[in-house]
A and B are shown apart, each in its own frame.
Chain A
Amino acid sequence: AQSVTQPDIHITVSEGASLELRCNYSYGATPYLFWYVQSPGQGLQLLLKYFSGDTLVQGIKGFEAEFKRSQSSFNLRKPSVHWSDAAEYFCAVSTGANNLFFGTGTRLTVIP
């Protein structure tokens, strides 16, 4: 069965520092991969997605993610975090059709 692991429940970074959020998945083939962000009290917004091709994908708000097949990982990165990036981040995996499996989320706190 498919599963998604986000090992970090909560991360705190200083404004301007770099950020990496980890995501590992379990699936036999290459799935479709997503990162979503949820600001407090809001729904989920898609940051970026990987379907195929270049393993480094660019998203909105200056985020990028790298797909590493050998590590079954799809980590999210940002070179310089802004206070407005404080939110909860979800990695998700789809094998097609009508399924989307979510990780348990990583809450990001940004300190001035």
Chain B
Amino acid sequence: DVKVTQSSRYLVKRTGEKVFLECVQDMDHENMFWYRQDPGLGLRLIYFSYDVKMKEKGDIPEGYSVSREKKERFSLILESASTNQTSMYLCATRTSGTEQFFGPGTRLTVL
């Protein structure tokens, strides 16, 4: 079974803080993704990575950056958190097929 883990299930941060969300997968998948999920909007892609040190912007990259130094780990960084970044963040991985495998999510609250 594919296992995708996220460093925190719940996180509370203050406006202006730098926030790191970590995602780790154990299946040697090349592709990793970060989504945010908001009620009524479904899932929206923030960034994805198709290889170590490679990244591509998704649909809503503003206010976010990512890092992929090792194949199994993909980090989402909020340089200066704002209240409109309060959301559920989901990490996913994909290998050569199209199916994506999701982690349990991190619910981030920015006060």
Contacts and interface: CB of A to CB of B under 8 A. Distances in A.
Interface of A: 4, 9, 32, 34, 36, 41-46, 49, 51, 90, 94, 96, 98-100, 102-105
Given A98-B31, A98-B50, A98-B56, A46 B43 contact: no
26 contacts: A9-B40, A34-B99, A36-B102, A41-B104, A41-B105, A41-B107, A42-B104, A43-B102, A43-B104, A43-B105, A44-B43, A44-B92, A45-B102, A46-B101, A49-B98, A51-B98, A90-B42, A90-B43, A99-B45, A100-B100, A102-B42, A102-B44, A103-B42, A104-B41, A104-B42, A105-B42
A72 B17 CA distance: 45
Q: Sorted from nearest, which 7 A-B pairs have the closest CB atoms?
A: A43-B102, A102-B42, A44-B102, A104-B42, A102-B43, A43-B104, A32-B98
Contacts of A103: 42
Interface string B35-49: 000001111110010
Contacts of A45: 102
B interface SS class: strand
B11 to A, nearest CB: 14
